[in-house]
Structure 1
Amino acid sequence: MNEEEKIVCSGKTFFPFIMGLFFMGMGVGVFFPILISMATYEVKGIFSICLILCVLEGSYFLLFWHNKQIIFTWNEIIYRSIFGIEKKYSWEDVKTVCYKSIGRGANRILIQTDKKIYIETGMMKKCEDVERVIKEKGYLQVKIK
């Protein structure tokens, strides 16, 4: 990687978009009709909680798909959260870089600065290029599963 090149690792992949649509569709298509039906108050209470949880989960995935982005250059890391808040870090701010397993074969790369920056390798584009850059910088030596 030369000094002018930048790698954009973004969440605009198929999985978060489909999951977001799935949870939103399940909330609106399954739970909302029950809420407006002639069900008892107990059933409406349970399904209103399910509706809220589905909408929140769907919102998370859609925000992840739309906003999550990490830009790597030779000199800095630009992190954009799911809420669109952007922060810049230099490579001198990086304390450690390691792999974290989150279960069921999914992995994350954790970049520890004053905050934790997670790269979800299964839900983000260009993770292989990011791994290559981190190894070139000397932060990540071995992949442990």
Structure 2
Amino acid sequence: PAEGVRNAVAALRPSGALSLLAAGLGGAVLARALAGHFTEARQALTDPAGRWGEGDPVPRRFTAEQLSELVSGAGLEVGAVHGVRVFADLVPGVLVDTEPGAVDALLKLEAAAAELPAFHSVATQLHVLGEKRP
């Protein structure tokens, strides 16, 4: 991952910005545990790449701290960090589909939680903005 971020940074203009979206470790652990897959949840928690097993389609997951370190290690100043899909992947689809106003309320909740560091650890995805130092 570090080489890929460095390559992206090398392509930026002097005052350029990088928008990096990656899979979140905590969200995967929480989702596996809530689905009753406790062994897979523990595997993701202890695996260096955050993978829950051989069948895991995601090659690497990050914490907000790891992703921020990756961005700063490539020479960028870390700007905003957001959690993406903090609740959306945990809410039963039937609830969102049948409850009037549920989609709008869920989107507002997601927006409110996205910037709060306490929710980064359970987000399915993490979004980090990095700015090239002059």
* Range of TM-score over shorter length: under 0.3
Q: Which structure has the bigger radius of gyration?
A: 1
Q: TM-score, normalised by structure 1?
A: 0.25
Q: TM-score, normalised by structure 2?
A: 0.26
Higher relative contact order (CA 8 A, sep 6+): 2
